[in-house]
Amino acid sequence: MKRLLLELLTVGITTGVVLLTQDRPFEWSLGTAVAASLLLPLRLRWPWLASLLCVPAVAGGLGWAPALVAQYRLGSKEKSILAQAFWAVLLTAASVAPVVITEDIPPGPLLLTTAFAFGLAAAPAGLGALLTTRKELTRSLYETRRARAAELEAQETSARAAERARIAREIHDAVGHHATLIAVESAALAATAKDPEVRESALRLRALAKESLSEMRAALGLLNSDTAYPSLQELIDRARVAGITVTLSETGDAPLSPAVSRALFRVVQESLTNVTKHAPGASVSVTVERSSPVRVMVVNGPGDLPPLDDRGGAGLHGLSERVRLAGGTLTTSYKADGGFSVSAVLPTGKPKVDSQDSTFGGGATATAIA
């Protein structure tokens, strides 16, 4: 609508200028000028045609108003300078030729008239070409700035990745050294201890140290992403050996992606760790439904002993992020009997990260991981 109104205004103004001009040198001057004005919309598709239609109107002395509009469009669309110069010369010749034929003009005034006519024909085309070039330069500058910003962002991302890799190596070297020493000392203790329970505890400690080192490497990206995790049953068995009363209920057999399997394992593992730290002596029930979607719930009752650590941490927030990255949601809540519940819903297919954060129960998190 805006474009239509602009065209109507352009045609109306040029036609009005032609009709208001009283000096009409030839009988065909008015008709050709009005026709050139009314046909100006053709310049949007064929700029050269609009300029061509203005040639007889300019020759008749009344066509400069539509010619200026047509030449501006021609200059903004025509990339060739020679083509722009040709149309400017053609219009100049069309305006000067009738004067030369019908009047006797001295060379000086004739040259001045020719120069004025050429400037009148070339100025709109030059202005259109100038504005078009400015727009192209502005667009090119914008693209250059955007490319530069993308390059800087890529450099920053690369630098951050390199720094994360360096930190990961440092963590691996420092923590891995101590974990290896624990494993070696445990093996030596198991080999020299006479008490069977001490040997069993030493061997279990050695296995935990080796598994911790393997999981640390996987978390730091130093191993393949398909590093095998212990089964839930093995995790439950270890918790029982540590003194936690745990019951496990598993149903369904839906296949899980590696990311969902790791998230499921971590939900149970972190929940059991929380019970050990914040609700010692509490009984725990673990329910896993391997359907579509996968549902896991870890519920513990109130602890029988004072908590080992009553400070809240950021463990549940980290666990929520892990579940979110696997495409699921995590929910925590207090129980009426003083216990705590951690439940997660995970997809069975390819993870789809949701933009919303996981929800948590109100109040302070009693079983947050320190």
Mean predicted confidence (pLDDT) in 56-85 = 86
Write out pLDDT tens, residues 100-150.
787 777 888 888 888 888 888 888 888 888 998 899 899 899 888 888 888
The alpha carbon of residue 334 and the mean position of all alpha carbons in its chain are separated, in whole angstroms, by: 38
Percent of the chain with pLDDT over 70: 89
Which domain-ending residue is among 122, 140, 158?
A: 140
Which domain-ending residue is among 111, 140, 169?
A: 140
Write out pLDDT tens, residues 234-257.
888 888 887 888 999 999 888 887
Which domain-ending residue is among 140, 175, 192?
A: 140
11 shares its domain with 128: yes
Long-range contacts of 83-89 (CB under 8 A, 24+ apart): 83/48, 84/122, 84/125, 84/126, 84/129, 85/122, 87/48, 87/51, 87/121, 87/125, 88/118, 88/121, 88/122, 88/125, 89/118, 89/121
121 shares its domain with 7: yes
Q: Is residue 197 part of a domain?
A: no
Three-state DSSP at 284 gives: strand
Reported as a pLDDT band with limits 50, 70 and 90, residue 222 is low
127 shares its domain with 244: no
Q: Is residue 172 part of a domain?
A: no
Q: Is residue 9 part of a domain?
A: yes
Q: Is residue 73 part of a domain?
A: yes
What pLDDT, on the 0 to 100 scale, is given for residue 285?
94
What pLDDT, on the 0 to 100 scale, is given for residue 228?
57
Amino acid at residue number 333: S
15 shares its domain with 134: yes
CB 183 within 8 A of CB 212: no
What pLDDT, on the 0 to 100 scale, is given for residue 189?
86
Q: Is residue 166 part of a domain?
A: no
What pLDDT, on the 0 to 100 scale, is given for residue 310?
55
CB 229 within 8 A of CB 262: yes
Q: Is residue 300 part of a domain?
A: yes
Tell me the pTM.
Answer: 0.41
CATH number at residue 335: 3.30.565.10
6 shares its domain with 134: yes
8 shares its domain with 131: yes
Q: Where are the beta strands (DSSP E) in 204-282?
A: 245-251
30 shares its domain with 131: yes
Q: Is residue 173 part of a domain?
A: no
What pLDDT, on the 0 to 100 scale, is given for residue 297?
95
Mean predicted confidence (pLDDT) in 162-191 = 79
What pLDDT, on the 0 to 100 scale, is given for residue 344?
94
How many CB atoms are located within 10 Å of the residue 75 CB? 27
128 shares its domain with 250: no
Domain of residue 44 covers 2-140
Count of domains forming the chain: 2
Q: Is residue 83 part of a domain?
A: yes
How confident is the prediction for the chain on average, in pLDDT?
A: 80
